[in-house]
Amino acid sequence: MGEREEGTALITAERRRQVTEEGWLPEHDDGHKQGELAVAAACYAMPELLYVYREVGRHRKFADPWPWPAHYDKRPRVPSAHPLETLAEHNRTFDPPSVRIRELVKAGALIAAEIDRLRRAAPAPGGEG
């Protein structure tokens, strides 16, 4: 088996893919001024069980903070949204290492996009503004 790529290389490759294959150019990213890129990154980085809709009695609801229309959401789903589902059950449902790594790579690429967006929006050093 060959040497595995480091996380930073995986994130760089994913960001490149987002731009070249998905068409999410810097000009598009610049339109997301309310932190949507960072929110999407957080959604990808969170374990599934933290954002699945749940109700316990009539008192608890957990909404998904996903910032865009659902058809852009590529996160895997736990088949059951039962409130008593455990992390152990979740880990039996998916292949945790490969699924989690892929989701974290997407999160890292979105964070990189947000950093780049903020840097483009910031005044140049020594400039006015």
23 φψ region: left (φ > 0), alpha (ψ -120 to 50), beta (else): left
**pLDDT average, residue stretch 6-16:** 97
* Domain carrying residue 35: 7-121
- Give exposure, 75-98, as e/b (b: 16+ Cβ within 10 Å): beeeeeeeeebeeeebeebeeeee
Confidence class of residue 83 from pLDDT cuts 50, 70 and 90? very low
Pairing of the two strands 60-61 and 55-56:
antiparallel
pTM score, whole prediction:
0.72
Residues 18-65: pLDDT tens digits?
A: 999 999 999 999 999 999 999 999 989 987 655 556 677 776 766 777
Q: Please tell me the total count of domains within the chain.
A: 1
pLDDT at residue 84, as a whole number: 45
According to DSSP H, which parts of 71-95 are helical? 87-93
**pLDDT average, residue stretch 88-98:** 62
Domain contains 51: yes
Question: Please, which residues bridge with residue 63 across strands?
Answer: none
Domain contains 79: yes
pLDDT at residue 27, as a whole number: 97
